[in-house]
Structure 1
């Protein structure tokens, strides 16, 4: 098959690598220019560089809405478009152009976690597994019929970084298996159950801000979901932003006001947490390591020299 690839960052890079190794002909790669967005500067393996190294023509676009791009797509006559981490909607004159349509690779187990940053949101929400879906693109973002899915379990100490590495390794085999099914005429497309759909927005730095009315269990996952190199979960202490690098759920139960810097426990410092913390029936969040605005990382027991005071969601 003649294939055009739309994609960006490491997800797109892994997809293009699989296409190049598949024996099919990659006739064009379309990717985004480099971005300064915090979440787009990480996992930033270049689709453009990989394509050029392998003699594949490259087009750079922020949006796929110009006549030149459409004309170029018609000229190369693809049998299939494969997309992964293309950051804007593709119009029907593009996704329906090839005879086999467009195969989109999305890093969640659709129909849940359509949209952006699914691994982070899934870990925040305590999902037991995450994965990757190959589906047919249609007019609704990440809602087309599913061809294949692959899943991996989420462990009790996994970070978003761990899950990224585990799921990105699924892309190559998923793409290869999908191409084999499509090329052989054995593809079976299964409609998504729309009653189970969920769609998540693109993350920004404000989404990493800690709300101390969340339970300690929720906040512990929140910290793991924003592991390096992602922007870390943060709070404010004495007017300065403080990043929480490592945390755990306390063994003891602590009562009072959410956000209170309370007491040492083990190798960390307990912060009172939970909307019902006043009951004294909830564990707190044991903060183990923090990072200051100037990038200095410290054990929480070294940073919080005295107990008392509050961590807040505003300076």
Structure 2
């Protein structure tokens, strides 16, 4: 089949690489210009560079609705569009143009975690598995009929970086198998159960701010969901921003006010956590390593020389 590819960053790059290694012909690649958004500078393998290396025409667009792009799509006469990590809405005149429509590759197990940063949100929420879905694009974001899904388990200590590498490795087989099913007429499309759907917004610095009223179990997952190279979960100590880069749930239960720098336990420092911490029945967050605004990383036991005082959401 003749394929037009819409995509961006490493997700789009892996998708294009899979298409290039398949039995199908890539006739056009559409991608976004470079971005200064913190989350769009992390996994930033270039779709444009890969396409140009293979002699494929590239169009750079923030939005896919100008006359030149629509004309290029018609001239390319694709049998199908394949999209992955395209950051703005594709209009119907684009996604309905090819005979086989548009196959979107999304890094969640739809219908849950439609939208943005699904791996981060899924890890924060304690999901036991994450994955990749190939579905037919329609007018509602990430809501079209599903063709194929592949999942990987989430381990007790996995970071979002671990999950990124595991799920991005699913892209090539999902893309290749999906196109082969479509080309052979063996595709079976399953409507999504919209009662199970959830939709998440883009991450921003505010989403990494620690709220000490969260239970320690949730905060520990937030720290793992903001592992390097992502912007780390952060709090404030004596008016300065402090990033938490390694933490776990304390062994003991500790009572008091959320955010209190309380006691040494093992190789870390326990911070009181949870809205019900006043009962003394909740675990605290055992902080092991922190990073200051100058980029220096410290063992928490060295950084917090004395107990007492509070970590706060704002200076």
Shift, 1:91, TM fit? 0.1
Deviation track 1:113-171 (CA, whole Å, cap 9, x = no partner) reads 00000000000000000000000000000000000000000000000000000000000
Counterparts of 2:256 and 2:133, CA distance in 1? 44
Which residue of 2 is the match for residue 241 of structure 1? 241
Counterparts of 1:65 and 1:272, CA distance in 2? 51
Which residue of 2 is the match for residue 121 of structure 1? 121
Counterparts of 1:222 and 1:185, CA distance in 2? 43
Counterparts of 2:260 and 2:218, CA distance in 1? 17
Which residue of 1 is the match for residue 93 of structure 2? 93
Counterparts of 1:249 and 1:179, CA distance in 2? 44
Question: Partner of 1:120: helix, strand, or coil?
Answer: helix
Which residue of 2 is the match for residue 22 of structure 1? 22
Any gaps of 5 or more consecutive residues in structure 2?
A: none
Which residue of 1 is the match for residue 139 of structure 2? 139
Which residue of 2 is the match for residue 69 of structure 1? 69
Deviation track 1:6-47 (CA, whole Å, cap 9, x = no partner) reads 000000000000000002110000000000100000010000
Question: Partner of 2:289: helix, strand, or coil?
Answer: strand
Which residue of 2 is the match for residue 287 of structure 1? 287
Shift, 1:264, TM fit? 0.5
1:100-111 counterparts in 2 under 5 A?
A: 100-111=100-111
Normalised by the length of structure 1, the TM-score is: 1.00
2:33 maps to 1:33: yes
2:309 maps to 1:305: no
2:260 maps to 1:260: yes
Counterparts of 1:131 and 1:183, CA distance in 2? 24
Counterparts of 2:248 and 2:277, CA distance in 1? 17
Alignment coverage as a number of residue pairs: 315
Which residue of 1 is the match for residue 229 of structure 2? 229
Any gaps of 5 or more consecutive residues in structure 1?
A: none
Question: Partner of 1:39: helix, strand, or coil?
Answer: helix
2:45 maps to 1:45: yes
